[in-house]
Structure formats: C-alpha cells, structure tokens
Structure 1
Amino acid sequence: MPPFVYVLMLHGVLGFIDIIVNHELLEKLPARADSSHEEGLHAARETIFACLFASLAWFEWHGVLVWWIGALLLCEVFVSAHDVIVEGDTRVLPVSERVLHLLMFVNLGITITLVAHALLWWHAAPAELVRVDYGGASWVLTGMSVLSAIWAVRDGVAAMRRRDVAAV
C-alpha cells in the first residue's frame, strides 16, 4: 500500500476530531451568527476531501488524469489558506483548534508530497483509471468520503442559513 494512503486516512481522522471537538462542541459554529463564510469554506473543504478520499480509495489516475488529483490538492491549499484568514478575522481559536490545525497543515504537506510523488509516476503512464484495492484502507477511505460528503451538505446548509439570518 502506498504511504499516501496512511497519511490521507490520518488527515481524515484529524479533520474529524477538529470538526467534532472544535467546530461543534466548543465553538458551535453552525449556530453562530458570524459563521456563514467559515461554514461555507468548511463545506468546500469537505467536498474536496470527499472527492479526494473517493478518488484515491480504489483508483490510480494515470496520464493526464493525474490533473484531477492535482487540482483537488491545489484547491484544498487555497481553501485552507482562505479559511485561516477568515477564522482569524471572526473569532479567537481555542488552543485545541490551533494545535490541531498545525498538525493538519503538517500532515497536508506530507500528503501532498507523497501523492505528488505517486502522480509523477502515474503521469508517465497512458491515460486511464487503474483499479486498485488497498483492502480495509480502501473501505476506510470510502467511508471517509461518504462522511465528508454528508458533512459538506450539513455545513453548506448551515452557511446558507447563517447568510440568510445575517441578511435580515
């Protein structure tokens, strides 16, 4: 199993902890009047990771198809950079959230490095989706994809509700 699978699963676990502990229990972001922009960014990130988990759980993306994975990773970097600014402008982050964000940024860098290494090899091959099976890890990534997609919808709805409340 390629190393990026392990760090991708770790990223999912860290993200889950951040969402549950920091966003839901401590900060109660979906209910905050000033959270619509941040919740929208979180929905975007969760959508990106739903696609990334699903895309890498069962396939290698060869040839020009590697650009799909590269685009997802690039979008994640932009969303995360924007989210750091929005969070810093709208609220004081608890220590637990700052520490988790540091760990997630380090892990994201490792993930990008390992996936990029695989993409270099995959890019040299003819364009095709190659089926892979990482055993239980493929199923874990699939589950993470489904949970990320569900949470993306939830955060997207919360962002729209907060935007509507702010407009009134």
Structure 2
Amino acid sequence: MSVALWLLAAQGLLGGIDNLWNHEWRAKLPTTPTARRELQLHAARGLIYGPVFLAFAWVELRGLFAMALLALLAVELFITLADFVEEDRSRTLSPQERVLHGLLTLNYGAFLAFILPALAAQAAMPSALVAVDHGWMSWLLTLYAVGSSGFGLREALAARRLGKTT
C-alpha cells in the first residue's frame, strides 16, 4: 500500500498545481461564464477527492466501506473523462496544462494499478473501519483533503453563481 500512498500524494500535489496554476491563475475559471460546466465537473471531483484523501490518511476500509471507495474511484474516473471532453469543447488548453493532465492521468492509472488489488481484498473482508497512521503522510493527505474539499466547494459556488449570470 505504501507505493499507492506515494502515488496518491503525487496526485494531490499535481492536482493542486493544476488547480492553482492553470484553473485559478491562468484560465480564471471561477469568473469565466463559459467555464460553468467545467467548474461543475471540477467541483464534483474535488468533493470526491476530499473523502478519498481522508480515508487513505487514517482508515483502512473493509467490506462495504471498501466497495464504496471503489465506487468513488470509478466515479472520479468518469468525471475526468467528461472533463477532458468539456475542456476541449469550452477552451484552449496550454501545452503545459495538456502535459500536466497527461501526467495526472498516468499517475492515476498507476495508483489504480497498485490500489485496486488491495481494495478488492479489503472488500472481501467483513465491513469495518480500521484506524491506521502513516505518520507525516497521513497529515499530508489530510491537508490535501481539506484543500480538495475547499476548492470543490469554491468551484461549486462559482458554477452556481455563473449559472445565475447567464
């Protein structure tokens, strides 16, 4: 599981860079009326990543809890695919953003390759929430959970506000 945690931490870092640099600073998505749908997708993804980061930080999910996490990871994948289409439809991405999205996608695939066997095994166990502590990594993932959830809420509110202005 340690490789999966490192990959998840890399996902949080790269996703944070993408959000701050590309979405907030360069594209200014929260103030761009044509970005409403993209903001909705980003909000959904951010609000999924919050609990995902938090779960991996402090809990080993077993049984139905592991199945629920598997479902969240699948939903995130479909949101990302929809986001690819929406971004191509609504705006021109810089080469740097396109490359970063490629790296995020590769990293997420590697994360899934490492975590899916572990989650499948945990899903076969009786349902339980087992406390874990990964030291500083738990705290880093907690920070990512707060940031991801915060930006998810910000993007949801921005999308709602943009919907009222169009």
Q: Identify the TM-score tier after normalising by the shorter chain.
A: over 0.9
User: How many matched pairs?
Assistant: 166
Matched with 1:108 is 108
In structure 2, what is the Cα distance between the partners aligned to 1:82 and 1:20?
A: 21
- Give the match's secondary structure for 2:11: helix
Matched with 1:23 is 23
Q: How does 1:49-60 map to 2 (within 5 A)?
A: 49-60=49-60
Q: Deviations over 1:71-103 (max 9, x none)?
A: 110010110011111110011111111000000
Q: Normalized against structure 1, the TM-score is what?
A: 0.95
Matched with 1:35 is 35
Report deviation, 1:68. Answer: 1.3
Structure 2 alignment gaps of length 5 or more? none
Q: Pairwise CA RMSD of aligned residues?
A: 1.0
Report deviation, 1:63. Answer: 2.0
Q: Normalized against structure 2, the TM-score is what?
A: 0.96
Report deviation, 1:64. Answer: 2.7
Matched with 2:120 is 120
Report deviation, 1:120. Answer: 2.3
- Give the match's secondary structure for 1:34: helix
Residue type of the alignment partner of 2:46: E
Matched with 1:142 is 142
Q: Is 1:67 equivalent to 2:67 in the alignment? A: yes
In structure 1, what is the Cα distance between the partners aligned to 2:78 and 2:123?
A: 23
Residue type of the alignment partner of 2:103: L
Q: How does 1:62-101 map to 2 (within 5 A)?
A: 62-101=62-101
